[in-house]
Structure 1
Amino acid sequence: MFFQKDAETMSRRQIEEIQLERLKWLVDYCIKNIPFYCRRLESAGVTPEKIKCLDDIQYIPYTTKDDIRDNYPFGLFGQPLKKIVRIHASSGTTGKPTVVGYTKNDLENWSDCMARLCVAAGATDEDIVQIAFGYGLFTGALGLHYGLEKIGATVVPTSSGNTEKQIMLMQDFQTTALVATPSYAQFIGETAKDMGVIDNLNLKLGLFGSEGCTEEMRGQIEKTLGLFATDNYGMSELMGPGVSGECRMRCGMHINEDHFLAEIIDPTTLQVLPKGSQGELVVTTLTKEGIPMLRYRTKDITKINYEPCECGRTFARMDKIKGRTDDMLKIRGVNVFPSQIESVLMSFDQIAPHYQLVVTRENFSDRLEVKVELADGSLLENYSGLETLRQSIHHNLKTVLGIDTKVSIVEHKSLERFQGKAKRIIDLRNS
Structure 2
Amino acid sequence: MFGTAVRQLGYAWSMMSGRRFRLRDVNALADDMRVTLETFGSPGEGADDMLAGSDPELQEDLTRRRLRRTVRHAAAESPYYRRWFETNGVDPGSITPATLSTIPPTSKADLRGMPAAFVSDRARPVVLAHTTGTTGTPTMVWFSAYEIELMSSMSALALMLAGNLRSADLWANAISSRSIAQILTERAVTRTGAAFVHLGAVDPAVALDRLATPMHVPGKHPQITQLNVTASYLAALVQEAERGGWQAGDFGLSTIWSGGEVLTDALRVRAEHTFGAQVRDGYSMTEIAPVGGRVCADGHLHLPADQGLVEILDPVTLRPAEPGAVGTIVVTPYSTYRDTTLLLRYVTGDLVRVLRADEQPSCALAALPATSRVLGRVSPGGLTTRDVLDVLQAEHALPLPTRWSLEGSLLYVVAGKSDAGLLGRLEERAHGLPLDGIVLVETADDLPAPCRLRADLLELSFERGL
- Quick one: structure 1 residues 292 and 48, their matched pair in 2 at CA, closer, same or farther if it must change by over 3 Å? same
C-alpha distance in structure 1 between counterparts of 2:439 and 2:54, whole Å: 50
Aligned match of 1:297: 347
Partner SS state of residue 106, structure 2: coil
Aligned match of 1:428: none
Residues 178, 205 of structure 1: 8 Å contact kept: yes
C-alpha distance in structure 1 between counterparts of 2:47 and 2:454, whole Å: 29
Does 1:317 find its partner at 2:370? yes
Structure holding more helix per residue: 2
Q: Give the counterpart letter for 1:184 in structure 2.
A: Y
TM-score (norm 1): 0.80
Q: Select which of 193, 214, 221 maps to 2:264.
A: 214
Structure holding more strand per residue: 1
Partner SS state of residue 404, structure 2: strand
Q: Select which of 192, 198, 211 maps to 1:157.
A: 198
Partner SS state of residue 351, structure 1: coil
Partner SS state of residue 23, structure 1: helix
- Quick one: structure 1 residues 345 and 123, their matched pair in 2 at CA, closer, same or farther if it must change by over 3 Å? same
1:264 deviation in Å? Answer: 1.0
Residues 358, 368 of structure 1: 8 Å contact kept: yes
Q: Select which of 284, 299, 303 maps to 2:332.
A: 284
Q: Give the counterpart letter for 1:337 in structure 2.
A: T
Aligned match of 2:145: 104
Aligned match of 2:102: 59
Amino-acid identity (%): 22
Partner SS state of residue 263, structure 1: strand
C-alpha distance in structure 2 between counterparts of 1:77 and 1:316, whole Å: 29
Aligned match of 1:383: none
Aligned match of 2:302: 254
Aligned match of 1:400: 432
1:92 deviation in Å? Answer: 5.2
Aligned match of 1:429: none
- Quick one: structure 1 residues 231 and 117, their matched pair in 2 at CA, closer, same or farther if it must change by over 3 Å? farther
RMSD of aligned alpha carbons: 3.2
Deviations 1:5-53 (A, max 9, x none): 23534222222222211111111111211121011123344323312x4
1:78-89 to structure 2, matched below 5 A, reads 78-79=120-121, 83-89=124-130
Residues 174, 228 of structure 2: 8 Å contact kept: yes
Does 1:5 find its partner at 2:49? yes
Q: Give the counterpart letter for 1:180 in structure 2.
A: V
Stretch deviating more after TM superposition (113-122 or 180-189): 113-122
Does 1:18 find its partner at 2:65? no
Q: Select which of 332, 341, 356 maps to 2:403.
A: 356
1:102 deviation in Å? Answer: 1.2
Residues 79, 289 of structure 1: 8 Å contact kept: no
- Quick one: structure 1 residues 354 and 396, their matched pair in 2 at CA, closer, same or farther if it must change by over 3 Å? same
- Quick one: structure 1 residues 310 and 70, their matched pair in 2 at CA, closer, same or farther if it must change by over 3 Å? same
Deviations 1:191-234 (A, max 9, x none): 34444443310111111111111222222222222211111212
Residues 125, 143 of structure 2: 8 Å contact kept: yes
Q: Give the counterpart letter for 2:114 in structure 1.
A: N
Q: Select which of 167, 175, 181 maps to 2:230.
A: 181
1:23-42 to structure 2, matched below 5 A, reads 23-42=67-86
Residues 63, 295 of structure 1: 8 Å contact kept: yes
Q: Select which of 182, 186, 197 maps to 1:145.
A: 186
Q: Give the counterpart letter for 1:152 in structure 2.
A: G
Which consecutive unaligned segments of at least 5 residues does structure 1 have? Answer: 375-379, 381-385, 424-431
TM-score (norm 2): 0.75
